[in-house]
Chain A
């Protein structure tokens, strides 16, 4: 063992929340959280407070993504500091409430970890979403989860892009982690997708329990896909979509897209090619909820992140 080994001592992760129903039609998380609210045996771990929580109950009731505005974009500083007045959009009220219960965002009182459970119509498989390349706790946790899930693949998406990063529900916590499993249609519960998400969470909670018990996790590297760009559909002057994701790109999340590869197919049968200079790795290909957000897919670049060894700080 090198005498120069760096072990980062981090605070115990004592309080953990699991959010389902941030989008009311993404059924795996809603079903898991409701199940665990009824019977929490499966998620109990020594020395850990774990709270399963339905973040957008009105949207869940309606089985729609949101009521007034997307909750998973609502945790901006402006919204969180907005005064309590009548007529605030439902999700802004809800964001303030969640910030009171699990935050305040950015403070020492905030929950240590929030897992936010999502589904996508894209063929992303099991994906973990990180917002920071320097959060050692999260990097070590996703490394642990990936190893535990093998040979089942778990991709890691890193969204640190200054313009494309957004104010997520989970950003209230010190260590926010998004779980995204697809493909699954909105409003549908598929057994295999449900079980994948359940297994990811099991490994995540195992990691936290081990960490809190004082285990040292050695230095590691994590393969990530870093968000680069949002690609919209071709549209006409009225803003209507004029082409669909090309059949060669459909369902090819995480696979290389090179200059000259087919990207879109117009309704009258013409192929539109990808013209970018570099190879990119598309994801969120043909996600239903992103039509209104002007996104056909997102491009990413592959990167290897390094993380120091970590250990729980002694009191």
Chain B
């Protein structure tokens, strides 16, 4: 592939507390805000606590999930004092860091999240050909010795992209698990701190004209979600994630493999025809969304060499 010249990544946003009980991001943002920039950083970074009310109450959200409020429709809907808090906040964040889709938007938005699932570190984005995001992923994979780093792709067009990271020209959620909600585990915090630092290092090197060699990145593209088995009348969950599947995020799931174990000891198996990669297995916040796990296809994506275009 030919080398690609790309605009510098001059404005970056680091956001935490988009879900108020995902604490590694909350504490990382608090620490960054304490050590205020002295204007000598090579790249301009804005650090934002996305959902301060939810952070204060240590809950995922106050009225509605903030990280589902960034579709074109929600961002342009009329708001009043009686609108849900998170809807008002999403429009505030869009004005601050966007507007989404415009030339004024930040160049890169990194949104910090935690999950109860055993995902390691994932960069979650809407594009499988965003060379900046893919190169940052490759950099983290190279440099982070003890944490698995993966690239997860949701194939959704920009207008329907619903999460905060879609506001930046480039963006991703940096998702790290496993960590219970409302808890901060030091190894998870350290991994997130390292991930953000490596991202900033890459951006600085990129902006100063470094050529980053192309190569390959494994991309996991979301295919479908699987809900828990539920009672047809009461809708109550009737089986738990099977012990063989629990904590096996990104281990290939074959047709016939155990998926759920009911309280009567019955094993329910994966009935799909295609072997797929499960992730977000048993994420606590997804029970109410009807998701026990998500399934992805993996493919190798070739990425070109990149260099910032200001250097000729």
Contact = CB atoms under 8 A, between A and B. Distances in A.
B180 interface: yes
B58 interface: yes
Given A64-B59, A288-B181, 13 more contacts: A31-B237, A121-B183, A185-B181, A185-B183, A187-B284, A188-B284, A190-B241, A192-B246, A240-B30, A244-B184, A267-B31, A268-B31, A286-B185
Contact of A188 (B30, B116, B183, B242): B116
Contacts of B240: 31, 189-191, 194
Contact of A185 (B59, B116, B243, B261): B116
Interface residues of B, number: 30
Interface residues of A, number: 32
Given A191-B240, A289-B182, A267 B27 contact: yes
Contacts of B288: 63
A245 interface: yes
Nearest to A291: B182
A244 B189 contact: yes
A64 B116 CA distance: 16
Interface string B58-84: 110000000000000000000000000
A250 B185 CA distance: 8
A244 B24 CA distance: 10
Contacts of A250: 185-187
B236 interface: yes
B129 interface: no
B308 interface: no
A92 B174 CA distance: 42
A51 interface: no
A267 B182 contact: no
7 contacts: A63-B287, A185-B178, A187-B287, A250-B187, A267-B31, A286-B183, A288-B181
Contacts of A245: 185-186
Contacts of A214: none
State the majority secondary structure of interface residues on A. Answer: loop
A219 interface: no
B263 interface: yes
Nearest to B35: A268
A31 to B, nearest CB: 7
A46 to B, nearest CB: 23
A218 interface: no
Interface of A: 31, 34-35, 63-64, 121, 183-192, 194, 240-241, 244-247, 250, 265, 267-268, 286, 288-289, 291-292
Top 8 A-B pairs ranked by shortest CB distance? A185-B180, A187-B284, A288-B182, A191-B240, A188-B284, A244-B186, A185-B116, A121-B180
Contacts of A292: 58
B187 A186 contact: no
Best-buried of B31, B59, B263 by chain A (most CB within 10 Å): B263
Contacts of B90: none
B186 A291 contact: no
Contacts of B181: 185-187, 288
A185 B189 contact: no
A183 B179 CA distance: 11
Contacts of A191: 240-243, 246, 261
A289 B21 CA distance: 12
Contact of B180 (A189, A241, A265, A288): A288
